[in-house]
Structure formats: structure tokens, C-alpha cells
Structure 1
């Protein structure tokens, strides 16, 4: 299913092909503070349709994930990285997708604090 999403101010917009069957709810210091609910997809399933030049990047710890956020409103709609196999991946912040009933999602808890 194709989903539309954006940052809060709308400068950054994207579309992503995903079924949203399993949503990761991670308890690491970054995800828990920001309240992320994440859907992981192949990087090719994510298409930035507006505002790529308005994105800034934050990294921490091993600096292997590029947490992307709007430089105007600070909203973080997705991150980019690589799986251990080297395959490019994206972590979509489901809270930034349009018309999603968050209460209906199958949330999978992940103990990111232990990584």
C-alpha cells in the first residue's frame, strides 16, 4: 500500500510503499524520547517528493543511522541506514503518515536500550 507522509510544517513530503503489518516500538534513548513508531522498508520503497534539501541529519552512537529531520520544524519523518547485509533501508516514523489509526497497529516492542 502506498502511504503519504510529511513533516509538521509540510516542507518535507514523501511517499512510502509498505503494509504496516509490524510496527517497531523501540525503547532506546532516542526513540523513546521522540515517541517513534517505526516501519522498516527497503530504501527504494521511500520516495521523497518534496523538500529533500530541507532535511538535516542527526547521528549518534555508532553513527550508522542517519536520522533525517526537517530543518524548519524539527519533525523527523524517517531515518536511513543499512542492514548488516549491506542492503539500504529506511525506518519510517509512522506518526508522520497521513490517515493512520495508530491504535490499530501491531506494535512490536524492541529493547533498543540493550543494543
Structure 2
């Protein structure tokens, strides 16, 4: 059974079938402290696809992706290599705590997510979710963007509550918060 046929995956996973045409990409955070490479099939740019189709880049509507501007692809873990600066990579766990989100401790760039645990739960091969805005070269305007809207309604619901300063004000005003 391929990862495209797993009974626990959504009907249409956010990654395409491999086409046999591969492209390699260099990525890095804004300051360059973290550098990494990925290999994808099909490629993300039409000029590399040999007429066999492109890898549509996912624009997710979950609260985190919307806030940081992620445009994501999902390469297999075996097709990603971090070459420099792992000591500068930090993780942030959202309320679901299923996929650590990576960012650079030096410049704050949003790099991607470790979705291996999520893939395991879905019965799929291990993948990362990588933000293509970190591409060293490449025009993001030339990408095929696929809007993904199912995440916004997935539990747990995003809610951080009022800031501490407002909580104090609300308590003083008798609102019960």
C-alpha cells in the first residue's frame, strides 16, 4: 500500500504522486545560519517539470500557517538534509502538539514542521512540512498554490485567551475573567 492509498489519510493528501521527474532545492533561514536541501517529485516549478506536472504548494488556513505565511511542501524525510546550523533551530508546539514547528533562533524565520508523528498516526511514510518561502533561489510567484481549508476546523480550536494585562483589567471590572 502506498502512502497515497492509506485508509487513514484524507481523500486527497496535500502531496502529489511522484512523476519520476525530480528537482533539488537549497533552502535557508533569513540570516543563513540554518541551511538545508530537499528533493521533490514532481518539481515545484513548471520549467523543471518536463511537462509531467508540478508539485502544488500548500497554502493552509490553520491559525499558525496563516499568521506566519507558510507555503508548504511535504517531502519524505529521506529527501531532506540539514547541512548547517541545527543548533540554531528551535521548536514551537501549537496546542495540538503533534507537529513541532521549526524556526531559527537567530532571525525568527519559520522553516517548517516535523510532521513524522502525524504521518505515523495516518499510516503514511515520514514527511516534513517545509516552508518554500525559505528557498535560496526561485520565484514564489511562479508556484502553483493549492488552498487547503480543512485545517481551520480541526481540533483543538485555536484560543489563547486575553493578554495578561487585559485579564487583570477584566477582573477589576467584574467580568469574571
- Please indicate, yes or no, whether the TM-score normalized by the shorter chain is above 0.5: yes
2:84 paired residue number: 50
RMSD after superposition: 1.1
Count how many residue pairs are aligned between Structure 1 and Structure 2: 115
1:39 paired residue number: 73
Deviations 1:65-97 (A, max 9, x none): 111111111112121112111532111100001
Gaps of 5+ in 2: 1-22, 45-54, 155-177
Query: Which contiguous aligned blocks of 4+ residues in structure 1 show a shift greater than 3 angstroms?
Result: none
The correspondence for 2:34, drawn from 12, 30, 37, is 12
Tell me how far apart the structure 2 counterparts of residues 86 and 53 of structure 1 sit (CA, whole Å). Answer: 29
TM-score of the two chains, using structure 2 as the length reference: 0.62
Deviations 1:1-47 (A, max 9, x none): 11001001111000000122110001111000111100111111110
TM-score of the two chains, using structure 1 as the length reference: 0.94
Gaps of 5+ in 1: none
